[in-house]
Amino acid sequence: MTAASMSVQALVGRFATDTPFELPVIDYRLLMPILIILGAGVVSVVIEAFAPRRARRPLQLILVLGSLVAAFIAVVGLAGTQTTTAAGSIAVDGPALVMQGAILVIALLGGLLMAERMVDPSGDAFAPRASALPGSDDERQFAARGYLQTEVWPLFLFAVGGMLLFPASNDLLIMFVALEVMSLPLYLLAGLARRRRLLSQEAAMKYFLLGAFSSAFFLYGAALIYGYAGSVDLPVIAAQLSGKPSESAIVLIGLGMLLVGLLFKIGAVPFHQWTPDVYQGAPTAVTGFMAATVKIAAFGALFRVLYVAFGGMRWDWAPMMWIVAILTMLIGSIIAITQTDIKRMLAYSSIAQAGFILVGLIAASPAGLAGAMFYLIAYGFTTIGAFAVITMVRDGNGEATHLSKWAGLGKKSPLVATLFSVFMLSLAGIPLTSGFIGKFSVFTAAIEAGAGWLVIVAVVASLIAAFFYVRVIVLMFFSEPNDQTATVAIPSVFTTIALAAAATITIVLGIVPQPLIELLANADVFVR
Amino acid sequence: MNTFPWLTALGVLPLVGSIIVALLPKSRPSLAKQLALLIALATLGLTIAMALQFDGGSAEPFQFTESYSWIPAFGISYSVGVDGIGLVLVALAATLVPVVILAGWNDVEGDSSKGSGSVKGYFALILVLETLMIGVFSATDLFLFYVFFEAMLIPVYFMIGRFGGPQRAYAAVKFLLYSLVGGLLMLAALIGLYVVSANLTGTGTFDYLSLVGLDIDPMTQRLLFAGFFIAFAIKAPLWPFHTWLPDAAAQSKPGTAVLLIGVLDKVGTFGMIRYCLPIFPAASVWYAPVIIAMALIGIFYGAFVALSQQDMKRLFAYSSMSHFGFIALGIFVFTTIGESGSVVYMVAHGLSTAALFLTAGFLMQRRGGSSMLGDYSGVNKAAPVLAGFFLFAALSSLALPGLVSFVGEFMVLLGAFQRYMFVGALATLGIVITAAYVLRVYQKSMTGPLASGLEGMADLKGREIAALVPIALLTLVLGVFPAPILNVINPAVNQLMTTIGATDPPTTLTTSTSAEGTLQ
Amino acid sequence: MNGEAWVFWISGGFAVIGALGLVLSRKAVHSALWVAFTMINLAILYVANAAPFLGMVQVIVYTGAVMMLFLFVLMVVGVDSSDSLIETLKGQRLLAIVFGLGLAGLLVFGIGNGLMNAGSVGLDEANAADGGNVQGIARLIFTDYLIAFEATSALLITAALGAMVLAHRERWTARASQEELSKQRFLSGVHPGNLPTPGVYARHNAVDTPALLPDGSISLESIPRPLEARGDIRAIDHHEVNEVKEIDAP
Amino acid sequence: MINAGAVVWAEGAPVLQEVMPATGVFSLIWLLIALPLFGAAVLLLGGRHTNKWGPYLGVLTVFGSAVIAVLMLLGLMARGAEERSIGQSLFTWVFAGRFEVNMAFQLDQLSLVFVLLITIVGTLIHIYSLGYMSHDPDKRKFFGYLNLFVGAMLLLVLANNYLLLYVGWEGVGLASYLLIGFWQIKPTAAAAAKKAFIINRVGDVGLSIAIMVIFVTFGSVTFSDVFGQAGSANEGTLTAIGLLLLLAAAGKSAQFPLQAWLLDAMEGPTPVSALIHAATMVTAGVYLIARSNAIYDRAVWAATAVVVVGLITIFMGAIIGSAKDDIKKSLAGSTMSQIGYMIMAVGLGPIGYVFAIFHLLTHGVFKAGLFLGAGSVMHGMKDQVNMRRYGALRAAMVVTFVTFMAGYLAIIGIPPFSGFWSKDEIIHAAFERSPIIGGLAILAAGITGFYMTRMVAMTFFGKARWEDDVHPHESPAVMTIPLIILAIGSTFLGMALLFWGNIETWLEPVVGFATAKSPISTTTTIALSLAFVIVGAVIGWISYARREVPIVAPRGSWLTRAARQDLYGDAVNESLVVRPSFLLSRVLIWFDSRVVDGIVNGSAAIVGGSSGRLRRYQSGFARSYALSMVGGAVFVLLALVLVRLS
Amino acid sequence: MNPSNYVILSAVLFTIGAVGVLVRRNAIIVFMCVELMLNAANLAFVAFARMNGNLDGQVVAFFVMVVAASEVVVGLAIIVTIFRTRRSASIDEPNLLKY
């Protein structure tokens, strides 16, 4: 026993008067995925601090990819677990593990995208030195010398750690902390783009201010609920709700405020306005990563809050969620129609997609949860694939995100255009793609739950959405390339793997979805 | 029965072919064509071999059935099988594909200089489409059907959008969105049906035979029926869901138009007969007056619009709309003759559309692709063989007795008349207008003095004739001797009538009471 | 009114005033000071609410650390930077007030509805359980909320990392030492010393009068560039120069 | 006026014949049809290779059918009267549910006379055409179409059910369409062809619906089934069927109100006019009604309608024939008129059927002769058709003149020429029905005398009014021999059929027969009609042989002008049908692109427009985003509270 | 003294903070308003802790302070970056991303 621990014992001993200070039983095996990632984050910081500059990138890559794989293996190892740990504050159950697994795999692809340094001749996707002023001599110097901001890797790992924690958090405090652990690195990453730094910084600021604003709402909601229930533990809240029916307004207000924070993260209307700006401004690799993973993590938390703690109040929140879902689907789809920037268009599309997933949420059934999880996974892979393509489509000024530059791309680079079309078709929900099965599962659950009219609205929204997905295909394949047309950069193995994986999963999940459906069907119950 | 997976083989063959064609080097366009033709012919051969195995007298609802579990979580399986109706439509698809390939041999080539899509791409898409067409007609799982139904849009979308006229992108998008409206409504209804089946039987299923005969309550039936029907009405297309068709037909290559109108749109009417009627019998009866009204309006509306239409392709599109009115009419009168007639009409219309569009395509190709009637006159003088085929196609379109279209049309009208005298009689008037617009086209384009710009116009060449002859021959032979198709269609129709519980009205002489047969 | 009520109403009132001051001050520094004031009052209220530990932490962390950080940044940005209070977004202020009132109304309604009759258990028992407020909090932090506690470490690392990435102004070149700077200066070939001052004669003392070099010519370096560019250089009156020479002559 | 209700037709109605299986020569019924169709197929599909021998093949195949027909005639005559209905069924053609139609033929006395007429006259006209069309580059096609026609016509008369009849019915329509428009390069010919087809289609609608009613009523469309049950159907149904069949007959036989196409149909080559638009196809309506006698016998009002239509057409045709200067159109008017007689006769019931058929046969022969004669004249006159440019041709074309005169005397009904016998019987029968009908028929006979005399006078008599470069000459033997044969027929066929062939007894088993109990005697009828004819002929002679015939037609009376305009048939069609249709078409095109498609595009535009407006709210200001978040929060809270309160 | 008064007070402070975010343009002031909102939440937690008779609320408030501190660091870093680039701390000025 070391001296330090001895002194801790001594301290404990001195303060403990009546009740002995018992350390909680924490099964670290259950927390292994989270611990691996957060631990890797710490190691990553150490690498930044001590490794020579040249060695940082390879070390970080090995660490990041290795830890993601290790964490994923740990998640797989936990399959079937249905328990809570750490004094009930962490749930290790089906949905949590599914979401963690999905986040890890998508984060792996996102990490590959972030590691790409072939498509941009001047380096990777990030500013060589974020602190150097845009356009300054310093910045040019750093760029010319091939400096890389390798600090993105610890940030990335912490973000992933937060994401793993978010859907697994079984009390509101953990949830709040996880929210921040997830968000803070993302705020930073959003501002680190190598090109168009003004936009990137603007995105970071908007994301940060609005994110902080929304978490204040979340927190205040948590406070009110705590006031009502006397605990921030979700199962305790649920028990209290069924136990004492009075004092209801405070719960309603608390729930509402809590939902503001969560709906903000998933980008639901009217809390969606940060999405297009941030998606457009952030480095594309980061956009792809966070568009996919944040949605999964936040939906995980939203589902857990609404199902575990407030499942009994379904008839209170369902009508409101109906309206939010309808607005989200329609407004996201409608505004996307007139977008001219592909990243922005995908941002609005992600809003619309969030609406579709909300349809599954409203079903308030295991089938709805399973459907939404399928949808999230499908959406995640498709989205990261789409953004991967965007990173490759470039002109002299970096990524060519204006749609007019995509005209005729199908003739110039048929393979990439075809892949992008597959992603678009999947997002549009055309059969034989994962997006279709996702929509199908979610709609099925909703109709089973009696939300037929919501599905009709969703169908109308999908139609509107199909228009702009198809428009990209029209542009790529049905117009002639001109001198404005962007070129497709040849990526390194990183992006290639990410793209290939995303496309494969998009199609495979569209054709043989059964294994995943089965998996989800076995994982559609929250631990209480 | 033998256990050879006929239908799967039939679907896989063109799919594999299309992949091979797509992988061929771009510099060998003629190889792609030859290979595509070869595969299409092989598919046709396989279809014929399968059709010969078909047992018209079998009591089984479907033959050549295969079933493999696909997504058991939703009761979805890969189940295929054909009844007589499916068989003739599969055969129609398998017949028209080689014809279209042959006819469209040089359609795409001329455009490659303009930077349009590649030759091999076009033929690969045709083969993909063939797979999906065969799939859609042979699926016996509703989900599988839906997948084929929607997936078909993609190759057609590219075929219109990449290989077509100046407005092709607009037409392609319009086609796709229109179809998606229907498709998505159908998806909603499909899911609804699944949920209903789950509620009624405990486990949800998409299996056709399990869904038929479910005791769905009438209100639900009406809702679900509407979802399916609108999808089919858009696809077919029935008035007033038709406006995508003229644009799509006018902007696409003749071959695309043939497959689109000749086969693909049949999925709409096929769907009505296969899915709407047996699964929602009560709703079908409830909606029948509205649909019959739509069909009647469509018959006359399409015909009248065609009457003074200047653009030939649009004209044919509107004429098809009119014909689809007849088909829908036959389906929703619930008589054996009407249903059989509708199926025969589908086949006939596929053949006559192919003849019309291909001949018109050959004609237009000889004048820089113009489809305006005003640009043509006196073609008969310069190209008598072309004119002859054109006339034949026109006559087939106006359902001249002795051609298969007559058999279909008359059966439809008779079936309608049997149930609703007034409706049948009114619809019969349509044949006059049909004659008027069809002969107007022939008169304007083929007769009179030769139009300037057409001097020295070449007559049809061997390849073109080779494409048209099989269609003409089938039209004629089946017109005189329709037994081969009636023999397989009729048992399926009888089964259908039993399923929906409809009986034909008795002849007036044998009963003194009401002439109405029962529908329930 | 008992003692606690006095505290509540005074400190609570101050807190609100501070909050309003935060929102209404033109100068950012004033806002910062107002919010610090609010936070101190909140600390008092914490203590009044049987949370002495939190009250202290509030003062140390918030008023002491966080607000100082704010003030530092304000120094960077410019201490006297002030907002114009004219609203530029159409309808923003009106809607902000409407929504603000709505939000406040709903919150107060909800709280009032839920809590008006709720009693207060008090913390005496809870505090006593672990032998005191600090002990109680400690026990909770290290038992029930251990994971949260561990996770916050990730937050702190992130924060440090973020501040470093964004704000640590790494330079490409190392800052030069004084020696290097002076060497550089002399080696550059530029006039190392001060430039000659403008001509200062008995009768004239103006920047537009050039200095005279020993040979009697004028030194252009002695006059500001802009004047030179404008041509606003006073001509040399040689008569006067001579006069001066005479006077100066030994 | 015409008291239909008083007539009782049960008497004289035929007893349904038993259908015998086809044996011996009768097993070749299918070959009757197949031979000409085979010829047509070879000629039309064979291409240029058949140019040389194709026409001869065409002649041969039709001749072959004629030979078989004659053999069958002999075969039937050898059988007893009750064994003369022979059926041959090849295969089941269309079937579904209770509906079952066979590809089956029925050869009986009625069909056989038609078969004979078609094949024999057809052969003659084929032969004639060898000469007439010898210089046409598309001769091969012409013979192909002719063969197609013969095949279709034979199918029409041999079918054992209405649906198969319908195939022949439209088949002859198609052949007629092709042949009228044979010289397609002339826009008028193409237009005339289209017009003929479309007007015929109107009639076909009638036939279609009639078949449907028949099926719905009797559960079968086979003649024997239908006629066997006709007695048990109610009269209303039968009347409906009768009227619908009349509509069909009116279309095919150019009867009022569907008469307008026949005159234009003269755009086709003359042999076509002779075969199709005089001898055979246009009489299909008569065949149809006669064949359906079992229905008409029990639907008196329908039969009366037939009589009225016939009567109206008799006069329309006669009047038009009197005014036209175009020799073929004048003959066409005459054809309308003569068919009007037949139609009227079949409307008379058992007293009329036989004589309608009788007149049909004689008319088929003499009118073919007349048309071919007219063709011969045109052939010699450089295709001039205007009779005002003829005159005094009797010397230049002796054979043509003589044969034409035989036809002339036959049509106006001078004894013993064949037309006399047949027409006179009809008039006599008409008197039994009503003196008014009889009187009108006799009056029309007078007009026939007038216009035929006018034609003969203008063509063969008077002064030559030829164009300068015309050198009239007699046609070659290949054309004159058919003329001669037909002239012989025109002369003797009437007597032969009546006295030697016993046409009444021959046809009676099929259509029934009853001797007319006319209020006036046969002699009186003959005297009256002869008197009228002679008066008409004299007026014609005086007006057109004695007087100078102006080369440019005088303005004429209103009736003449109306007759030259086909009694405004086209104008009526144009203003009542064609123009409204095209107007409707244009309105619908507008409606389709603006309203129906407009709604579609409009809803797309609305979505797009709202997109443009909604995106303005994404103003780029973080504070306004925060504002919408607070607004959203208020909304969320309010919604939760309101749901709870409600 | 009814502790719910504290909660009401916290609601008032929260709202003032929220309105402040909406009406102020200086990014730092906006951020201070957010901090005020967090503080309001903390007050509510503390008050509720007393009402509920357990210390969880105080612990949460404690964590919030930690979180808020980290947030402040990151936020101010971002604001300073923006300021260095644009020489302005107005949050209305970075307005390139819109529509």
- Whether A252 sits inside 8 A of D639 (CB atoms) is no
Instruction: Summarize the confidence of residues D128-157 as an average pLDDT.
Output: 88
Name the minimum distance, in Å, from the CA of D615 to any CA of chain E: 5
Report H helices in B167-280.
168-201, 208-211, 218-235, 244-251, 254-257, 266-271, 277-279
pLDDT per position as a tens digit, A439-454: 999 999 999 998 889 9
**Domain contains E97:** no
**Closest chain A CA to residue D615:** A335
Q: What angle do CA D371, D376, D379 make, to 5 degrees?
A: 125
pLDDT per position as a tens digit, D597-642: 888 888 888 988 999 898 888 888 999 999 999 999 999 999 998 8
Instruction: Summarize the confidence of residues D31-55 as an average pLDDT.
Output: 87
What are the Cα distances from residue B314, in Å, to A60, B98, B252?
63, 24, 11
Residue D216 contacts A where some CB pair is shorter than 8 Å:
no
Tell me which residue of B380, B429, B389 sits closest to B409, measured CA to CA: B429
Q: In what order do the strands lie in the sheet with A393-395?
A: A398-399, A393-395, A487-488
- Cα–Cα distance between A414 and A407 in angstroms, integer? 12
- Whether C95 sits inside 8 A of D633 (CB atoms) is no
> Which chain E positions have a beta carbon within 8 Å of A216's beta carbon?
14, 17-18, 34, 37-38, 41
Residue A470 contacts B where some CB pair is shorter than 8 Å:
yes
Mutate to test the interface with C, among E21, E28, E34 (most CBs of C within 10 A): E28
- pTM attached to this predicted model: 0.89
Mutate to test the interface with A, among D637, D638, D641 (most CBs of A within 10 A): D637
Q: How many contacts does D have with E, using Cβ atoms within 8 A?
A: 31
| Least confident range of A196-205, C218-227, D373-382 | C218-227
Q: What angle do CA B119, B123, B124 make, to 5 degrees?
A: 110
Instruction: Summarize the confidence of residues D159-178 as an average pLDDT.
Output: 92
**Domain contains E55:** yes
Contact A182, C155 (CB under 8 A): no
pLDDT per position as a tens digit, A458-475: 999 999 999 899 889 988
Q: Note which residues in 19-78 of chain E have CB less than 8 A from chain A.
A: 21, 27, 30-31, 34, 37-38, 40-42, 44-45, 47-48, 51-54, 56-57, 59-60, 63-64, 67, 70-71, 74-75, 77-78
- Cα–Cα distance between D158 and D104 in angstroms, integer? 8
Q: Report pLDDT for D553.
A: 80
Number of structural domains chain E divides into = 1
Do E and B share at least 3 CB pairs under 8 Å? no
Per domain, the residue ranges of chain B are 6-54+61-500
Name the minimum distance, in Å, from the CA of A512 to any CA of chain B: 7
- Cα–Cα distance between A161 and A100 in angstroms, integer? 10
pLDDT at D436 over 70: yes
**Domain contains E92:** no
- Whether D644 sits inside 8 A of A316 (CB atoms) is yes
Q: What angle do CA D122, D123, D129 make, to 5 degrees?
A: 85
Name the minimum distance, in Å, from the CA of D633 to any CA of chain A: 6
> Which chain A positions have a beta carbon within 8 Å of B161's beta carbon?
474, 477-478
> What is the domain range of residue E12?
1-84
Chain mean pLDDT for chain A: 89
Mutate to test the interface with D, among B178, B304, B310, B434 (most CBs of D within 10 A): B304
- Cα–Cα distance between D35 and D67 in angstroms, integer? 11
Asked if residue C140 and residue C201 are part of one domain, the reply reads no
Contacts for A420 with CB less than 8 Å, ≥ 6 apart:
A386, A389, A472, A476
CATH number at residue C42: 1.20.120.1200
First CA to last CA across chain D, in angstroms?
82
Name the minimum distance, in Å, from the CA of D609 to any CA of chain A: 9
Q: Note which residues in 371-410 of chain D have CB less than 8 A from chain A.
A: none
- Whether D637 sits inside 8 A of C110 (CB atoms) is yes
Tell me which residue of A353, A360, A297 sits closest to A103, measured CA to CA: A297
Q: How many CB atoms lie within 10 A of CB D439?
A: 15
- Whether A177 sits inside 8 A of C155 (CB atoms) is yes
Tokens 């009186």 label which residue?
A: D524
DSSP E strand boundaries for D22-114? 86-96, 99-107
Q: Note which residues in 128-147 of chain A have CB less than 8 A from chain B.
A: none
- Cα–Cα distance between C145 and D492 in angstroms, integer? 126
**Closest chain A CA to residue E57:** A226
Q: Report pLDDT for B515.
A: 43
- Cα–Cα distance between A497 and A490 in angstroms, integer? 13
Q: Report pLDDT for C81.
A: 66
- Residue numbers of chain E with a pLDDT score lower than 70: 1
User: What confidence tier does A2 reach under pLDDT thresholds 50, 70, 90?
Assistant: very low
Q: Report pLDDT for C16.
A: 94
| Facing residue for B73 by CB, picked from A432, A439, A517 | A517
**Domain contains C178:** no
pLDDT at A374 over 50: yes
User: What confidence tier does D277 reach under pLDDT thresholds 50, 70, 90?
Assistant: confident
pLDDT per position as a tens digit, A240-269: 888 766 557 888 899 999 999 999 999 998
Q: Report pLDDT for A325.
A: 95
pLDDT per position as a tens digit, D56-88: 888 999 999 999 999 988 888 888 877 888 888
Residue E91 contacts D where some CB pair is shorter than 8 Å:
yes
- Cα–Cα distance between D223 and A170 in angstroms, integer? 86
Pairing assessment for the beta strands D86-96 and D99-107 based on DSSP bridges: antiparallel
| Least confident range of B327-331, C80-84, D7-11, D171-175 | D7-11
Asked if residue C56 and residue C6 are part of one domain, the reply reads yes
Contact B270, B89 (CB under 8 A): yes
**Closest chain B CA to residue A421:** B154
pLDDT at D122 over 80: yes
Burial of residue D395 (CB within 10 Å: 0-12, 13-18, 19+) is exposed
| Facing residue for D627 by CB, picked from C92, C102, C106 | C92
User: What confidence tier does A12 reach under pLDDT thresholds 50, 70, 90?
Assistant: very low
- Cα–Cα distance between A398 and A143 in angstroms, integer? 14
Q: How many contacts does A have with E, using Cβ atoms within 8 A?
A: 132
Asked if residue C10 and residue C71 are part of one domain, the reply reads yes
Using beta carbons and an 8 Å cutoff, which residues of B are at the interface with A? 69-74, 115, 117, 146-147, 150-151, 153-154, 157-158, 161-162, 168-169, 172-173, 176-177, 180-181, 184-185, 187-188, 191-192, 194-195, 198, 223
pLDDT at C201 over 60: no
In three-state secondary structure terms, B505 is coil
- Cα–Cα distance between A109 and A88 in angstroms, integer? 32
Helix axes A172-190, A284-304, angle to 10 degrees: 170
DSSP E strand boundaries for A379-516? 393-395, 398-399, 487-488
Q: Is the dihedral of CA D16, D21, D27, D31 positive or negative?
A: positive
Q: How many CA atoms lie within 13 A of B15 on its CB side?
A: 12
- Residue numbers of chain B with a pLDDT score lower than 50: 1, 111-116, 512-520
Q: What angle do CA D467, D468, D470 make, to 5 degrees?
A: 70
The residue that leads in pLDDT, D256 or A218, is A218
- Cα–Cα distance between E44 and C46 in angstroms, integer? 10
**Domain contains C98:** no
Asked if residue C196 and residue C162 are part of one domain, the reply reads no
Tell me C197's DSSP state: P
Q: How many CB atoms lie within 10 A of CB A315?
A: 10
Pairing assessment for the beta strands A398-399 and A393-395 based on DSSP bridges: antiparallel
Strand partners, D102: D92
Contact A253, C107 (CB under 8 A): yes
Strand partners, D95: D100
**Domain contains E52:** yes
> Which chain D positions have a beta carbon within 8 Å of B427's beta carbon?
none
Per domain, the residue ranges of chain A are 26-521
- Whether D627 sits inside 8 A of C100 (CB atoms) is no
Peptide bond into A270 cis (omega under 30): yes
> What is the domain range of residue C237?
192-248
Contact D363, D338 (CB under 8 A): yes
| C-alpha B361: how far from chain center | 19
Strand partners, A144: none
In this complex, the chains that touch D, judged by 3 or more CB pairs closer than 8 A, are: A, B, C, E
Asked if residue C205 and residue C152 are part of one domain, the reply reads no
- Whether A274 sits inside 8 A of D636 (CB atoms) is no
> Which chain A positions have a beta carbon within 8 Å of E56's beta carbon?
226, 230-232
| Facing residue for B243 by CB, picked from D170, D202, D592 | D592
Contacts for D371 with CB less than 8 Å, ≥ 6 apart:
D270, D271, D273, D274, D278, D328, D331
Number of structural domains chain C divides into = 3
Using beta carbons and an 8 Å cutoff, which residues of C are at the interface with A? 106-107, 109-111, 113-115, 118, 129-131, 135, 138-139, 142-148, 150-152, 154-155, 157-159, 161-162, 164-173
Tell me D396's DSSP state: T
| Facing residue for C95 by CB, picked from D621, D627, D638 | D627
Residue E98 contacts D where some CB pair is shorter than 8 Å:
yes
